[in-house]
Each structure stands twice: as C-alpha cells, then as structure tokens.
C-alpha cells in the first residue's frame, strides 16, 4: 500500500458500516480520503475520530449519489482541492423489500438511482479526472453483493447488484480498449453485520437481529480488508472480482 500514500481516494456511503471502515483503512495507509454521504454530521464525527491518528486524512463532503448535480459538485471539489484522484470506491447502496410483482416504483427507482446510476456517474467522473490529470494507474472499486451472483427473494435489489458486476466488467473492457492501466474490481460481500438490515427492515429490528444472529457474520472491517487487498496487488495484476462470505453462509 506504500504506493498509495499521499494519493487521493473518494469513498461513497462513507458515514456508516463498510464505507466508514474503508475510510479508516485508507486513512491509516496514508491516503487523502474524500468521504461522502448524505449525513454530514456523521461524516464530521468520523473525520474527528480518524484525523491526526494516522498518516492520512479524511475530508468530509455531503453528497447524495442519487443527485447528479451533487456528484458533479463533489468531483469539482476534488479537482479544485487536490488536482487529481487515484482511487474511487463506490460503496453507497441500499435495498427495499420491493418485489417485481408488487413493489413500489419509487423504491425501485431509489435502488436503481443509488446502486446503479450513482455508481456509474461517480465512475465516469473519476475516470475522466484521472485521465485529465495524467493518472494511468488508478483503481475503481465497486462494492456489490452476493445478491449479484444469485437471485433470492429480493429480485429488484439483486438486479441492481448484477448490474454492478456487469458495469465493473464493462469498465474493465473499455479501459483495456483505451490502453489504460486503470484497474477495476468488484467486491461482493455476503452477510455483513452493519446498519444495512436494520434500514431494510425499518420498524422490525427483530428481523435484522435474527439475520445477524444466525451465524457469525462478516464485519465491516473484513470487507475493507478486501479493498486493501485489491489495492495492494502489483501493477501487472488486475483483481477483477472478489466474493467474501461468512463461513457458515450457504447462499
């Protein structure tokens, strides 16, 4: 990870869970990390926790990835403040219980806007900024889900995560066609003990408790470690896809 010390990363969904853990790991390895999310106060609390305790630094930025204007403003901030960037971690994501046969259109739209379009816009802007600033060894990391490998009872959510895998591979092909050395990685976690299930089952915390108590789930730091693993690969190695599950998880 020494090569990334002093370099710039952007992490979406940085206010909780996996995103927060990724920010902490990257700052610990000396990176300048723009952590974005809608909850600005939580971002500031994380910055207070991590800044000054490691070689890197976190820069909080309020951003709603379902709003393209907000995303473009964030990348303008990155360009104006640092002049370039080197790592993009698309971590923001959410799910609703919204089946294809009976789900609410707005919930479908929110999942697609967050999990697919927001990720795509951030990827486009990150790659363009890397190219403009002469960065040819950057890295785009998309946090997906095992739901993007096997359709379960949340088919619309699974559809967005299948899309993440397709977009990551499509990005790789586009970069290779352009003779770029920017790399791309999809990370697909299984059950991770975070706020995710409590948000999914709003008003029914006992359902989230049952999910997380049925086995020893992954921790947010476990997923963050896979990001570090991908970033630590030698320049000639492109780690395209990682699946990480709890040992006891079946599907």
Give the catalytic positions in this structure.
157
Question: Strands of 139-143's sheet, edge to edge?
Answer: 57-62, 32-37, 8-12, 87-90, 139-143, 183-189, 241-244
Give the Cα separation of 206 and 224 in Å (integer): 27
Are 36 and 113 in contact by the 8 Å Cβ rule? The answer is no
Torsion of CA 50, 36, 104, 160, to 10 degrees: -90
Half-sphere exposure of 223 (CA within 13 A, CB side): 32
Query: Residue 248 in 3-state DSSP?
Result: coil
């Amino acid at each position: 990870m020494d090569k990334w010390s002093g370099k710039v990363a952007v992490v979406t969904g940085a206010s909780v869970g996996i995103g927060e853990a990724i920010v902490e790991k990257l700052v610990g390895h000396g990176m300048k990390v723009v952590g974005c999310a809608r909850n600005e106060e939580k971002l500031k609390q994380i910055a207070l926790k991590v800044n000054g305790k490691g070689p890197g630094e976190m820069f909080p930025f309020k951003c709603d990835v379902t709003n393209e204007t907000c995303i473009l403003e964030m990348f303008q901030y990155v360009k104006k403040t640092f002049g370039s960037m080197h790592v993009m971690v698309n971590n923001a994501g959410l799910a609703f219980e919204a089946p294809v046969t009976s789900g609410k259109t707005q919930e479908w739209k929110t999942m697609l806007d967050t999990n697919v379009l927001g990720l795509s816009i951030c990827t486009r802007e990150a790659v363009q900024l890397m190219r403009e600033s002469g960065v040819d060894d950057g890295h785009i990391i998309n946090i997906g889900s095992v739901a993007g490998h096997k359709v379960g009872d949340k088919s619309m959510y699974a559809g967005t995560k299948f899309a993440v895998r397709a977009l990551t591979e499509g990005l790789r092909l586009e970069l290779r066609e352009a003779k770029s050395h920017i790399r791309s990685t999809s990370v697909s976690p299984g059950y991770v003990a975070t706020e995710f299930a409590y948000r999914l089952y709003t008003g029914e915390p006992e359902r989230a408790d049952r999910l997380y108590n049925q086995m020893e789930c992954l921790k947010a730091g476990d997923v963050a470690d896979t990001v570090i693993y991908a970033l630590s690969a030698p320049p000639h190695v492109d780690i395209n896809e990682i699946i990480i599950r709890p040992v006891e998880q079946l599907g």
